Structure 1
Amino acid sequence: MVTAADRAKGPARASVWLGGKATRTRRTDQPAGLDLDKITAATVRLLDSEGLAKFSMRRLAAELGVTAMSVYWYVDTKDDLLELALDAVMGELVLPGTVDGAETGTGTETETGTGTETGTETEPDGTETGPDGTEGGTEAGADWRIQLRRLAAGYRSVLVRHPWVSPLVGVFLNIGPHALKFAAVSQEVMRSADLPLRGQTGGLAAVFQFVYGFGTVEGHFRDRCARAGMTQDEYHQHAMGGMSEQPSLRRTFEQAQDLMAARGGDTVEEMRERDFDFALDLLIAGIEAKRGA
């Protein structure tokens, strides 16, 4: 465990991946069956079920049925565990071109952590799509637009399934193995888009910072609805009804009605999907306009 005296000797390390106890093996006097993978998995479960604010080493130890000191044999701080959990959920992403079992381009994929196998369907234009409408086709040489959409959809899904991820993304360096693989694949896809080299990081920022913002809002909205004991549609109707009754908000609310009607969609999920798809289309169109510039 890092003590005040240890911290006084020098600045704390920037990442758990740059040193610390994360590579240690179990001592003979440690609880049988306890290892870093199990500790990390339990951390993810607790963050999913109880949220970031309630997470503590004491709560984690209770979940594992061990003492807090047993956990500290494997990590130095709570931040170490949060960083490990963050990279673990990045491992749920199915990446274009990978051949390590996460994704093979054969028409099926297994979403890590859910055990759900999803097939692909072929649209009239030849584009492969999954059951959720996400474009597929990740074999070598696949169109960069398809691959970029798939990466964006995957990242959004992680943010929505795990609302605690978004507050941590800007806190840690995100240099774990899964995060680095995601970054490498994303960079390779952007290179395929034929943007000038000086603009490729900007292209990645445009897409993935948009996805980060969209997925963060979506994830926290879903979480708030669940905690309120309401469906997303029920919560939306409740909120819209309250806004329409407030004189100070009524004009803005009325002005937005034509936008809402034009967007279409009978449910919050449908409206959200239309917005996400169209916004991503705009970003890809912008990248296409800058190709070879």
Structure 2
Amino acid sequence: MVKTGQRAARTSVWLEDKTRRGTRGGGQPSGLDRERITSATVRLLDAEGLAKFSMRRLAAELNVTAMSVYWYVDTKDDLLELALDSVFGELALPGLESEADWRDDLRTLARGYRALLVRHPWMSPLAGTYLNIGPNNTAFARVVHRVIRSTGLPPRGIAAAISAVFQFVYGFGTIEGHFNARSNAVGMTPDEYFQHAMSEVNRAPETTELVRQSEDIMAARGGDTVQEMWERDFDFALDLLVAGIEAMVKREGG
């Protein structure tokens, strides 16, 4: 029940009978459909970022009026939620017939989710804004649950294991994606931007000592490029999580 003075909480475009079209008046615009609008939204978000996105900008991209877009979606939130679920459809999910070990399936899911976050850095804030119950994200969640259940962990550990793996991936992919976006925004490659950032850090007295103390860690990371460092760090961290699940299964008698 909504109290006086309170706004009704938004639920989801998938729960508010908006999955077919918007509810604003007027006839259906020719040459448009929800799939085309959603695809254009994803392209704009990839190219310009979330902060610059607007319904007016989208309408210009589609060469239609803003009201034409509103025939299919009632609000900007609805459209962003549709775009978020749309990119989850890019994931290659292990099927029920997969004969791979759970470790391999888990690595496939983790790497795919990370790549998605890096490819679409605008996903990160939206994933924490909406319910994420569209068909593509729901399909991803089902496979994640199935794979984690197959580890042998007891039911009380399933949710924690999912959080440990995929919240790690979310954080890693978010940082990597935003780092690449910042590099691109200033016209640098990731390697150039990394060298620039490190030179600035080395100039600051309060961080110089921290850098010196971390020299052995940086040297041990290996790799000639930022991308190679990302890959090695991610793979090692994922191996740590897999080893942790294996250890917990043994401890719990699985």
| TM-score bin (small chain) | over 0.9
Q: Which has the higher strand share?
A: 1
For residues 224-243 of structure 1, the aligned pairs below 5 Å read 224-243=182-201
Q: Which residue is equivalent to 2:73?
A: 75
Structure 2: where are the runs of 5+ without partners? none
Q: Residue 25 of structure 1 contacts residue 35 of structure 1 at CA under 8 Å; is this kept in 2?
A: no
Q: Which residue is equivalent to 1:17?
A: 14
Q: Deviations over 1:75-134 (max 9, x none)?
A: 111000000000000000000016xxxxxxxxxxxxxxxxxxxxxxxxxxxxxxxxxxxx
CA pair 9-73 structure 1, distance change in 2 beyond 3 A: farther
Once residues 9 and 202 of structure 1 are traced to their aligned partners in structure 2, the CA distance between those partners, rounded to angstroms, is 34
In the alignment, residue 24 of structure 1 is paired with which amino acid? R
Once residues 24 and 167 of structure 1 are traced to their aligned partners in structure 2, the CA distance between those partners, rounded to angstroms, is 25
Whether 1:281 and 2:239 are equivalent positions in the alignment is yes
Once residues 12 and 74 of structure 1 are traced to their aligned partners in structure 2, the CA distance between those partners, rounded to angstroms, is 22
Q: Which residue is equivalent to 1:204?
A: 162
Q: Residue 21 of structure 1 contacts residue 75 of structure 1 at CA under 8 Å; is this kept in 2?
A: yes
Once residues 27 and 98 of structure 2 are traced to their aligned partners in structure 1, the CA distance between those partners, rounded to angstroms, is 49
Q: Residue 114 of structure 2 contacts residue 169 of structure 2 at CA under 8 Å; is this kept in 1?
A: yes
Q: Which residue is equivalent to 2:135?
A: 177
Once residues 273 and 248 of structure 1 are traced to their aligned partners in structure 2, the CA distance between those partners, rounded to angstroms, is 29
TM-superposed CA distance for 1:12, in Å, is: 4.5
Once residues 150 and 221 of structure 1 are traced to their aligned partners in structure 2, the CA distance between those partners, rounded to angstroms, is 23
Structure 1: where are the runs of 5+ without partners? 1-7, 99-138
For residues 252-291 of structure 1, the aligned pairs below 5 Å read 252-291=210-249
In the alignment, residue 291 of structure 1 is paired with which amino acid? V
TM-superposed CA distance for 1:244, in Å, is: 1.4
Give percent identity, aligned residues only.
65
Q: SS at the partner of 1:46?
A: helix
TM-score between the two structures when normalised by the length of structure 1: 0.80
Give the aligned CA root-mean-square deviation in angstroms: 1.9
Q: Which has the higher helix share?
A: 2
Q: SS at the partner of 2:160?
A: helix
Q: Residue 114 of structure 2 contacts residue 173 of structure 2 at CA under 8 Å; is this kept in 1?
A: yes
For residues 186-197 of structure 1, the aligned pairs below 5 Å read 186-197=144-155
Looking at both structures, which has the greater relative contact order when contacts are Cα pairs under 8 Å and sequence separation is at least 6? 2
Poorly superposed stretches of 4+, deviation over 4 Å? 25-28
Q: Which residue is equivalent to 1:32?
A: 30
Quick one: which of 88, 91, 98 aligns to 2:86? 88
Q: Deviations over 1:174-199 (max 9, x none)?
A: 00000000000000000110101100
Question: How many matched pairs?
Answer: 246
Q: SS at the partner of 1:14?
A: coil
